[in-house]
């Protein structure tokens, strides 16, 4: 009851506004992490600390059953002056994804310690780059249920995120005079891109849902020469469906660009879809209804920390968080404070429902 009392004494949006005020682009999260750890302590968490990866961690309760609520505390670059106008909070991260993380923090505090349960809220670092924070916690927890924080609106539950795989495709050719009929490396690279794009069009034939399609993007095109050799490099991004894991995509890509070098970049992750008929999903739907909403489901075309932790944890999981994802990374990023308050109420009701089952 102590943690509920402490939560009710504060403004409903103190955690959100305070966290957004701590500008924390990837690689510079420590100020926001320290602020959130202190905030968790003030809300009555059993323990709050900074883990070895630099994540903010708050634990409430000591029961054997565990719910991990994993958000991310970093943002993309580009600081936006923090202000409230007409019920809207403006600031970098106000949507992606400090609103979901703050929502987790407040909802757990409102729920309080429940017999037999432990709630763990994690503000992970580096999600906008290589997800170092999530990769650190993935093998260190084994929760009964997991909720991942990303903005999908307060009355929606996301059940899936696409996979991703990035690669450079490099073409090299011997240097020759421009009057010769040989094909320059740049032209060969363009031919390769057209072939890859045509494959995606064929692959997507008959696939009505975007979640089921292969989505490609040409992220860069560079070229050069050193007097002896010329080269051209394509940077290709792929958002992958469930039936096309990263390794299979890399193999297909190599087939489509004969003679070129395919070099994977970053950390490829497979797509992931959550179980729809689970106690967690039912509790989330109940919580949204209790807060006055009409719940719905969504499958997203992006990739989240869900893709990293869900395969290892093997437990029922969902993605939840207030905010319109169309605001992600935009120069005018903002969230409705009313929506945030509803999300906290919905999640707190969901956690209470889950713990009763």
Are 250 and 262 contacting, i.e. CB atoms less than 8 angstroms apart? Answer: yes
Which one is catalytic: 29, 74, 106, 333? 74
**H helix intervals, the chain:** 2-8, 14-20, 30-42, 98-111, 132-137, 185-203, 246-256, 279-290, 306-313, 337-356
What is the pairing mode between strands 296-300 and 229-240? unpaired
Active site annotation includes 229: no
Give dist(CA 271, CA 213) in Å, integer.
11
Q: Is 224 exposed, middle or buried (0-12, 13-18, 19+ CB in 10 A)?
A: exposed
Which one is catalytic: 29, 106, 127, 128? 127
Give dist(CA 136, CA 138) in Å, integer.
6
User: DSSP per residue over 143-170, as a string?
Assistant: -SEEEEE--S-TTEEEEEE-EEEEEEEE
- Convert 55-119 into a string of H (helix), E (strand) and C (coil): CEEEEECCCCEEEEEEEECCECCCCCCCEEECCEEECCCCCCCHHHHHHHHHHHHHHCCCCCEEE
Q: Is 162 exposed, middle or buried (0-12, 13-18, 19+ CB in 10 A)?
A: buried
Active site annotation includes 127: yes
Catalytic residues: 74, 127
């Amino acid at each position: 009851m102590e943690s509920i009392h402490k939560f009710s004494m504060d403004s409903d949006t103190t955690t959100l506004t305070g966290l957004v005020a701590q500008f924390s682009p990837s690689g510079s999260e420590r100020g926001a992490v320290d602020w959130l750890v202190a905030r968790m302590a003030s809300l009555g968490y059993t323990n709050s600390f900074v883990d070895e990866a630099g994540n903010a961690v708050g634990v409430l309760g000591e029961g054997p059953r565990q719910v991990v609520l994993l958000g991310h505390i970093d943002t993309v670059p580009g600081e936006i002056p923090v202000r409230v106008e007409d019920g809207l909070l403006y600031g970098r991260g106000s949507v992606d994804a400090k609103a979901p993380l703050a929502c987790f923090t407040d909802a757990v505090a409102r729920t309080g310690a429940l017999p037999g349960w432990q709630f763990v809220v994690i503000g992970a670092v580096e999600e906008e780059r290589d997800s170092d924070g999530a990769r650190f916690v993935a093998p260190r927890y084994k929760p009964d249920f997991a909720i991942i924080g990303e903005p999908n609106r307060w009355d929606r539950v996301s059940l899936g995120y696409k996979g991703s795989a990035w690669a450079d495709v490099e073409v090299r050719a011997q240097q020759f005079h421009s009057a010769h009929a040989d094909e320059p490396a740049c032209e060969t690279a363009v031919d390769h891109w057209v072939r890859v794009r045509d494959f995606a069009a064929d692959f997507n034939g008959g696939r009505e849902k975007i979640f089921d399609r292969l989505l490609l993007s040409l992220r860069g095109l560079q070229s050069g020469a050193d007097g002896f050799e010329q080269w051209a490099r394509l940077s290709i991004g792929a958002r992958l469906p469930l039936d096309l894991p990263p390794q299979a995509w890399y193999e297909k890509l190599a087939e489509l660009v004969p003679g070129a070098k395919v070099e994977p970049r970053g950390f490829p992750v497979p797509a992931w879809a959550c179980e729809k008929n689970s106690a967690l999903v039912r509790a989330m739907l109940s919580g949204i209804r209790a807060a006055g909403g009409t719940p719905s489901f969504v499958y997203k075309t992006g990739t989240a920390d869900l893709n990293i932790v869900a395969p290892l944890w093997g437990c029922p999981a969902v993605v939840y968080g207030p905010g319109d994802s169309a605001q992600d990374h935009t120069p005018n990023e903002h969230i409705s404070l009313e929506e945030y308050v509803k999300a906290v109420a919905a999640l707190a009701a969901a956690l209470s429902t889950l713990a009763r089952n």
